[in-house]
Amino acid sequence: RNFVDMDLDAITKYSALHAKPYGLILQYGTAGFRTKAEHLDHVMFRMGLLAVLRSKQTKSTIGVMVTASHNPEEDNGVKLVDPLGEMLAPSWEEHATCLANAEEQDIQRVLIDIGEKEAVNLQQDAFVVIGRDTRPSSEKLSQSVIDGITILGGQFHDYGLLTTPQLHYMVYCRNTSGQYGKATIEGYYQKLSKAFMELTKQASCCGDEYRTLKVDCANGIGALKLREMEHYFSQGLSVHLFNDGTKGKLNHLCGADFVKSHQKPPEGMEMKSNERCCSFDGDADRIVYYYQDAEGDFHLIDGDKIATLISSFLKELLLEIGESLNIGVVQTAYANGSSTRYLEEVMKVPVYCTKTGVKHLHHKAQEFDIGVYFEANGHGTVLFSKVAEMKIKQLAKELEDNKRKVAKMLENIIDLFNQAAGDAISDMLVTEAILALKGLTIQQWDALYTDLPNRQLKVKVADRQVISTTDAERQAVTPPGLQEAINGLVKKYRLSRAFVRPSGTEDVVRVYAEADSQESADSLAHEVSLAVYRLAGGIGERPQRG
């Protein structure tokens, strides 16, 4: 039988060296596993084992990324990357959870179960690539992954320090036998920089002062990689790095998540009025832009506005070459109502709403020739279908003069987007290129539309399962009476909407409200949270006005 070949005794012996704290339960979610670094050694070893099984089953290279993204520095985490650089298949997320939570004496049985369920051929070779972020705990934890890979006889390549999107890129390159790009860090830098430089040389741009960008790197891996990369594109863009990890703590008072949730600039960045600034998150797969106006007011440009800039530009290019490829923008219920209205009514670009979570957005975006998706938090990308890609490459060869130039620009944009995952570096370069090509300042970009004031709140409940939703989380189905209550409250305000949804991770219900003024948005959010507290089993004290 197949499974006799697993040296089960060796696995058991090694597993004891990466012992699981008894009774610890973790869940593999959208972001993989995440918790305090000291609780993760056994999980890393076991994900090494799982990656080998997945590699044998798919006959492909699998990636393992050690990171906890925008979480505090004390935390860490791990996620697996599937053959085309996408997130791990849902059935394997379940296997991951099962394996991570098995007590020591059950490890053998769980491995055999997975192998049999998935018909894994153990004779098949396995290859796994590993990347890690700059957390103090990451190096030792990635060594535990390697232990797991080795004990099951897998081959591996350890890339060391990488951004999360760079590991996705490596996996994609290795599984498309180099057609997509070279599976090296230089390959990544060259592919993106070449596309960026070709795209921006079309810009009949103003003085040099214009093409400078301040980047807050969240004291993370983004700083190291941007520093290695900057000389590749320095003729087209000069980046000034802040929070580069030389002194500050990872994600502490800086990074995309901090800027977005606190609506203020990161510590450690001096901003002059109207300068373009952006922030990456800890593993460089999210980006938000912002600036300070002449009055000293802070303006955030979130994922919705980035998606609007990019999709409008793509639509313009397609119109110029008379190409009818269909573009779709995919958002979640958290997208600001003004962005949806602007895209549909002004740009005439169709917008679709899905449930919260990258996998839902990604899945929907794959239905279009060109699918654009960004979460408001700055995580997103553009997906080009194979058909769209072939058509555009064809046109770049066949068309004449100006139209040929436009088709070439589309081709550069295809190369700039990391097709495998949202990538802050890609998103930054595309955004910078578009602003240069259109001659837009950051204020002009910001002025495309004005965000409706909004407010997000959390309500503690005894059991978040009492809330269930439909219509991409925009309508509450249970508990009875809650949606009716929300409808009644929304009617009291102008340009208003509100929705509630259970948190994916804790017993709280998340409330979102927007309206024509901040006062109205705050008031609506508060009233909705009172309704949740009353009808969905709120615990602790009643929600107070902020």
CATH code of domain 8-161? 3.40.120.10
The reply to whether 106 sits in an annotated binding site is no
350 is an annotated ligand-binding site residue: no
pLDDT of residue 413: 96
Burial classification of residue 157, based on how many CB atoms lie within 10 Å of its CB (0-12 exposed, 13-18 middle, 19 or more buried): middle
Q: Which DSSP string do the residues of 255-268 spell out, in sequence order? A: SHHHHHHHTSPPTT
Mean pLDDT of 452-465: 93
Q: What is the pLDDT of residue 21?
A: 87
Residues 510-539: tens digit of each pLDDT: 999 999 999 999 999 999 999 999 999 999
Q: 496: closest CA among 522, 525, 516, 519?
A: 516
Instruction: Tell me the average pLDDT across 25-45.
Output: 91
Task: Judge whether 263 and 243 are in contact, CB under 8 Å.
Answer: no
pLDDT tier for residue 210 given thresholds of 50, 70 and 90: low
Phi, psi of 509 (to 5 degrees): -110, 130
Please determine, for residue 4, whether its predicted confidence score (pLDDT) is greater than 60. Answer: no
pLDDT for res 358 = 85
Per-residue pLDDT averaged across 45-74, rounded?
A: 95
Banded model confidence at residue 3, pLDDT cuts 50, 70, 90: low
In the chain, the percentage of residues whose pLDDT exceeds 70 is 97
Determine the average pLDDT of the residues in 242-271.
92
pLDDT at 206: 54
Give whole-number Cα distances, 196 to 95, 228, 410, 414, 436, in Å: 40, 16, 11, 11, 11
The residue-averaged pLDDT of 61-65 equals: 98
- Residue 204: what pLDDT? 65
Cβ neighbors of 244 (< 8 A, separation 6 or more) are: 217, 219, 223, 227
pLDDT in the model for residue 101: 95
Is the pLDDT score of 211 beyond 90? no
Domain ranges of the chain: 8-161, 187-301, 303-447, 454-536
Q: Is 5 annotated as a binding residue?
A: no
Over residues 345-362, the mean pLDDT reads 92
CA dist., res. 295 & res. 91, Å (int): 53
Is pLDDT at 6 greater than 80 in this prediction?
no
Specify the pLDDT at position 53.
97
**What confidence score (pLDDT) does residue 357 get?**
85
Retrieve residue 26's tokens: 């973790």
Taking 60 as the threshold, does the pLDDT of residue 57 lie above it? yes
CA distance 196 to 136: 33
Per the annotation, does 525 bind a ligand?
no
**Does 177 appear as a known binding residue?**
no
Residue 507: predicted pLDDT: 83
Residues pairing with 298 in the sheet? 292
> Would the annotation count 174 as a binding residue?
no
- Binding site annotation covers 285? yes
Q: Work out the pLDDT band at 13, boundaries 50, 70, 90.
A: confident
Across 17-30, average pLDDT = 88
- The answer to whether the 8-161 and 303-447 domains have the same CATH topology is yes
Average pLDDT, integer, range 159-175: 97
The reported pLDDT for the residue numbered 203 is: 72
Does the annotation flag 375 for ligand binding?
yes
Q: Is 109 labelled a binding residue? A: no
User: How would residue 70 be classed by pLDDT, with cut points 50, 70 and 90?
Assistant: confident
Average pLDDT over residues 128-143: 97
Tokens of 58: 């798919």
- pTM for this prediction: 0.93
Active-site residue, from 55, 69, 279, 312: 69
381 annotated ligand-binding residue: no
**Comparing 504 with 387, which gets the higher pLDDT?**
387
Q: Which CATH class is domain 454-536?
A: alpha beta
Could you please state the CATH topology (level 3) that the domain comprising 303-447 is classified under: Alpha-D-Glucose-1,6-Bisphosphate; Chain A, domain 3 (3.40.120)
Whether residue 337 contacts residue 497, with contact meaning beta carbons closer than 8 Å, is answered with: yes
Active-site annotation holds for 69: yes
Which architecture characterizes domain 187-301 according to CATH?
3-Layer(aba) Sandwich (3.40)
**pLDDT score at 209:** 47
Say whether 471 counts as a known binding-site residue: no
Q: Tell me if 463 is assigned to a ligand binding site.
A: no
What is the C-alpha separation between 369 and 387, in angstroms, rounded?
7
| Residues 281, 257 contacting (CB under 8 angstroms) | yes
Mean pLDDT of the chain: 93
Cα gap 435→147, rounded to integer Å: 47
CB atoms within 10 A of CB 153: 14
Q: What's the rounded Cα separation, in Å, for the pair 361 and 11? A: 38
